[in-house]
Structure 1
Amino acid sequence: MYSTTEKALIASIWEKVMPHTEQWGGEALERLLAVFPQTKIYFKHMNTCPGSAAIRAHGGKVMKAIGSAAGDVDNMASTLSSLSELHAYNLMVDPTNFKLLSHCILVVLANHLPSEFTPEAHLAFDKFLASVAAILSHKYR
């Protein structure tokens, strides 16, 4: 459950992210691939070089999915259900990677939103991304 304050912080941060989903999503994926190179196994089909258009586009898709969840915090499990199935049954992504990507997203947000990404906002968004990761991992059980 999220408090009213947490929901407001998540919505406020996401409002600032929306115009930059592809750029910041690409940065988060680039960071993931650089810091955790073992994750490259899931991207064999695309150019994983920094600045790659494919990584930037996929990062945008990831961030838009997160945005869908941010827009419906009380119903995230339903919102992310099809993505959970896709990643578990078709792509067979190790669910640990969702947590790693969440960390990378937090770093990107902190870099781009230094004054808005207060400790309270960081905590709320970390809680939110942990929920997203848990929902995406749910079908693995």
Structure 2
Amino acid sequence: MLRKREQKLIIEIWDRLTPVAEEIGADALFRLFTTCPGSKTYFNHLDISARSQHLRTHGEKIVLAIADGARNIGQLSETMADLQTLHAYTLRIDPTNFKLFTHCLLVTLAGYMGEDFTPVAHRAMDKYLSAFSAVLAEKFR
């Protein structure tokens, strides 16, 4: 999976981006809903227009959970256990949406980080977000 150097880089990136978690999350969610309209199904009761307060609030929750997972990457399944259960049994989210969201998040991160989103950072973040998506989807198997 991730080498120690990649783990350190991912933690550094999320520590730097946590203050703008709301913006990053809202942008990534809006990108998801725009490019994958079927993902809106789970959000019919919310205002999902660009930069809406619902997107900002939910986006921040997602980004902070991802950042928390990065800090506990060695125990990702344990750290995300409550979210696994919530998404699988209560919300019944199609696990394909996790992968779609992480792709949208990668694009958003590239925009926010600019030149700092190097190929090395991109590869490390892609590996981490793939692991994060897989962990969230574990309860669906």
TM-score band, normalised by shorter chain: over 0.9
Report the Cα distance in structure 1 between the residues aligned to 2:2 and 2:37, rounded to whole angstroms: 33
Q: Which amino acid aligns with 1:89?
A: Y
Q: Which residue of 2 aligns with 1:12?
A: 12
Q: Alignment RMSD, CA only?
A: 0.8
Unaligned 5+ segments in structure 1 are none
**Where do 4+ consecutive residues of structure 1 move more than 6 Å?**
none
Q: Which amino acid aligns with 1:100?
A: L
Q: Which residue of 1 aligns with 2:39?
A: 39
* Superposition deviation, residue 33 in structure 1: 0.4
Q: Deviations over 1:53-75 (max 9, x none)?
A: 00110000000110110111111
Q: Which residue of 2 aligns with 1:74?
A: 74
Q: Which amino acid aligns with 1:27?
A: D
Percent of aligned pairs with the same amino acid: 42
Q: Which residue of 1 aligns with 2:100?
A: 100
Q: Which residue of 1 aligns with 2:23?
A: 23
Report the Cα distance in structure 2 between the residues aligned to 1:87 and 1:15, rounded to whole angstroms: 25
Report the Cα distance in structure 2 between the residues aligned to 1:9 and 1:116, rounded to whole angstroms: 11
- What is the TM-score normalised by the length of structure 2? 0.97
Q: Which residue of 1 aligns with 2:130?
A: 130
Q: Is the 8 A contact 1:28 1:104 kept in 2?
A: yes
- What is the TM-score normalised by the length of structure 1? 0.97
Q: Which residue of 2 aligns with 1:111?
A: 111
Provide the secondary structure at the position in 2 that maps to 1:114: helix
Q: Is the 8 A contact 1:29 1:104 kept in 2?
A: yes
Q: Deviations over 1:17-59 (max 9, x none)?
A: 1110011101000100011011000001111111210011000
Q: Which amino acid aligns with 2:89?
A: Y
Q: Deviations over 1:60-114 (max 9, x none)?
A: 0000110110111111110001101100001110000000000011001000101
Report the Cα distance in structure 2 between the residues aligned to 1:4 and 1:116, rounded to whole angstroms: 19
